Chain A
Amino acid sequence: MSHILRIENLHVAVDGKAILRGVNLEMKFGETHAMMGPNGSGKSTLGLAIAGHPNYVITEGTITLDGEDITEWEADQRARAGIFMAFQRPVAIPGVKTADFLRHAATNVRRPDRKEGEDLIPMREFRKELKAKMSQLKIDTEFARRYVNDGFSGGEMKRAEILTMAMLSPKFSILDETDSGLDADAVKLASASIAEIGRDKMGLLIITHHDKLLEHNPPQFTHVMLGGRIVETGGAELARELHDHGYDRIRKTYPDAEAANQEMLAKEEAVAV
């Protein structure tokens, strides 16, 4: 399989405020990319713009999947085309059982032109598959009956996102700090799960601050985001450097991007006040 996700000169604004200022990125199926960068640099924004969040407005540039321009597509179309994002903070949908949600999602993603009201994956078949995936990820089967992300602990939420990824087998997955807020054991489990499910079976864009996740999923490429741009791209050694020594070198090397980053943070504080 060869798929390619290409981001060209992407500019994204939220509430009229420019955040991404010309991001270029190319990912192939089977590759692992690490996305690093200080807080507020625009990593999540990039992921959300790729996933098609309506509030993240693409003001310039394009996103193409296998040569097709998906810049204007709705989030559900993109999901059906094989784009997935595991969110940093997934929202709860009270009253909707995780299994029902996953059955709908998996059916739509597998049959992209399914119309509403058409049959879902047969219940038995789906249950069997879900059970198998849950045991592979060491998730208790009781999970399937709980409401989507409702009252989940941080660790449970992240594992639910990985389970969803496993059920949807996307072409490209963006994992937004799937390792944050977890204790050491949970990080290990999540990292191993991602490796098992995602490695070589999709393109992975891993947004992270930590090294555990990358240890299990060594990236072929590491990108550093600052002030809404990718300022540097390297291999696995770049991820190691940033993890060991932080972003001081990056900030000094790219003063313009650093200034943009500070400006965004300042606006953020102004909004918070």
Chain B
Amino acid sequence: MSTDIASSESIGEINKYDFRTESKAFFKARKGVDAEIVNQISEMKNEPEWMRNYRLKALEIFNSKPMPNWGGAIDINFQDIYYYLKPTDKQGKTWDEVPQEIKDTFDKLGIPEAEKKFLSGVKAQFESEVVYGSLKQDLADQGVIFTDTDSAIRDYPDLVREYFGTIIPSTDNKFAALNSAVWSGGSFIYVPKGVKIEFPLQAYFRINAENMGQFERTLIIVDEGASVHYVEGCTAPMYSSESLHSAVVEIVCKRGSRCRYTTIQNWANNIYNLVTKRAVAYADATMEWVDGNLGSKLTMKYPAVYMLEPGARGEILSIAFASKGQHQDAGAKLVHCAPNTTGQIISKSISKCGGRSSYRGLVKVEKGAKKSKCNVVCDALILDSKSRSDTYPYIEILEQDVSVGHEASVSRIGEEQMFYLMSRGLSNAEASTMIVNGFIEPLVKELPMEYAVEMNRLIQLQMEGSVG
């Protein structure tokens, strides 16, 4: 353990996101996914019958669905993955109770600092179970629930059952089905009517066991007139064999409410990151996704907002950074189901060192969604001639009286910009990093301060890695 820290320090900042801590799993199910494993997971969690049945049904759906034949190349042996790992026997209530080894990992991720800054409550997911969580007392007093989804099933069964799987049913896609069968952890948030949470609620997720799939399940319910900003950052250490991350995030924004969900993901280069994220927004509610994707082998992620009632708004900001051996197939989905709904997608992608980034977006305006407005802007920046960027905009408009705009641009880092910065003393690498950071600035400035700093640093690390 101490050598682990020493070596990570001596390599310095650059490898901050590339370490592993020896973890002694408390319980580890065998590899593979089948009814026995699913039953075992459910049993370990002491779940109610309805959840066990939900999982088993989802497993059938998973088995019956073919792999998606679009997006990126997925080469996963589902039977060669661990689906459940329980690293500690109970949830730590205070920092002192958290096992040292896990603390070391968190230290490296800088979580205690974040905790100090954000007394609102840090939830950290270490492998499959949430091991540490705290929530500021006054939030709890207002009836706000911020816990892991496993605890929520136990403590708020009716609330969970009412919404769980209603936004993203198991039948939605193969990976949503897999998640539904083997899910573990994730956040559950309920914000009662009219409660406005001023500071962001945060969670950290990471994967730390070889061949460990991470299948967290997040459910957020923002009641009428309430508002919340949830922030989730992910980093994963490097491993040699493939890992799978496949989360499901469901959000309900009731009348007049507001939800912003911010994710910065920086996965190791061998991880498949196949995530389904969807929100529904009722009358005059606003849902915003801010989604940053770095790292991973393949990311397929298209946060969606279904605007179900008049006046609903959906906004999606997405950044993707694809470097060597990486394919970011990221985008957004906006579905206008009611009149006077407003949608916006801003996508920024960067490709370098042979990386590939694709924007894949759907804008759908249903019949009757009169006077709806939707605007899509996607900008791609390509840093060298080996890299690639594609745009796949799907637009389906079934109503006449609407306004839909789409702009796309692809640019290469300009020689003149590089020369300008270098003539002011910036090195080649600093100059290109600065241009890239400038390119994503419109998005980064939407992030909470320390995430903006983190984002810029992650970009810097990406830019320093493997030149050419």
A residues contacting B by CB (< 8 A) are: 51-55, 74-76, 78-80, 84-85, 87, 90-91, 93-96, 100-101, 104-105, 108-109, 116-117, 147-148, 164, 168
Contact = CB atoms under 8 A, between A and B. Distances in A.
Nearest to A90: B420
A76 B426 contact: yes
Interface residues of B, number: 28
Nearest to B464: A116
Contacts of B79: none
Contact of A95 (B416, B422, B426, B442): B442
A105 B424 contact: yes
B434 A52 contact: no
A90 B420 CA distance: 7
User: In this complex, which of B424, B428, B440, B460 has the most chain A Cβ atoms within 10 angstroms of its Cβ?
Assistant: B424
Contacts of A52: 422-423
A157 to B, nearest CB: 12
A8 to B, nearest CB: 22
B435 A96 contact: yes
A105 B430 CA distance: 10
A96 B420 contact: no
Given A91-B420, A93-B420, A80 B439 contact: no
Contacts, number: 87
A74 B419 CA distance: 10
Nearest to B429: A116
A55 B415 contact: yes
Contacts of A78: 423
B434 A76 contact: no
A55 B420 CA distance: 13
A78 B417 CA distance: 17
B441 A76 contact: no
A84 B414 CA distance: 20
Given A95-B442, A117-B13, A75 B422 contact: yes
Secondary structure class of chain A's binding surface, majority of residues: mixed
Given A76-B422, A85-B423, A54 B438 contact: no
A53 B431 CA distance: 14
B415 A54 contact: yes
A102 B428 CA distance: 16
B423 A75 contact: yes
14 contacts: A52-B422, A74-B428, A76-B422, A79-B425, A85-B423, A91-B420, A93-B420, A96-B434, A96-B441, A109-B424, A109-B425, A116-B427, A147-B438, A147-B441
Contacts of A76: 422-423, 425-428, 431
A100 B460 CA distance: 15
A101 B424 contact: yes
Max chain A CB contacts within 10 Å: which of B423, B424, B425? B425
Contact of B421 (A85, A101, A109, A116): A101
B437 interface: yes
Interface of B: 13, 414-417, 419-431, 434-435, 437-442, 460, 464
Closest 10 CB pairs between A and B? Answer: A95-B438, A95-B441, A108-B425, A96-B438, A105-B424, A79-B425, A75-B422, A76-B422, A109-B425, A75-B423
Given A54-B419, A74-B428, 9 more contacts: A76-B431, A93-B434, A95-B439, A95-B440, A101-B421, A105-B424, A116-B464, A117-B460, A147-B438
A72 to B, nearest CB: 15
B425 A105 contact: yes
Given A95-B442, A96-B438, A79 B424 contact: yes
B419 A75 contact: yes
Nearest to B348: A95
Contact of A164 (B424, B430, B438, B460): B424
Contacts of A55: 415
Contacts of A90: 420
A101 B429 contact: no
Contacts of B460: 117
A104 B430 CA distance: 9
A204 B434 CA distance: 29
Nearest to A111: B425
A117 B14 CA distance: 10
A109 to B, nearest CB: 4
A94 B439 contact: yes
Contacts of A147: 438, 441
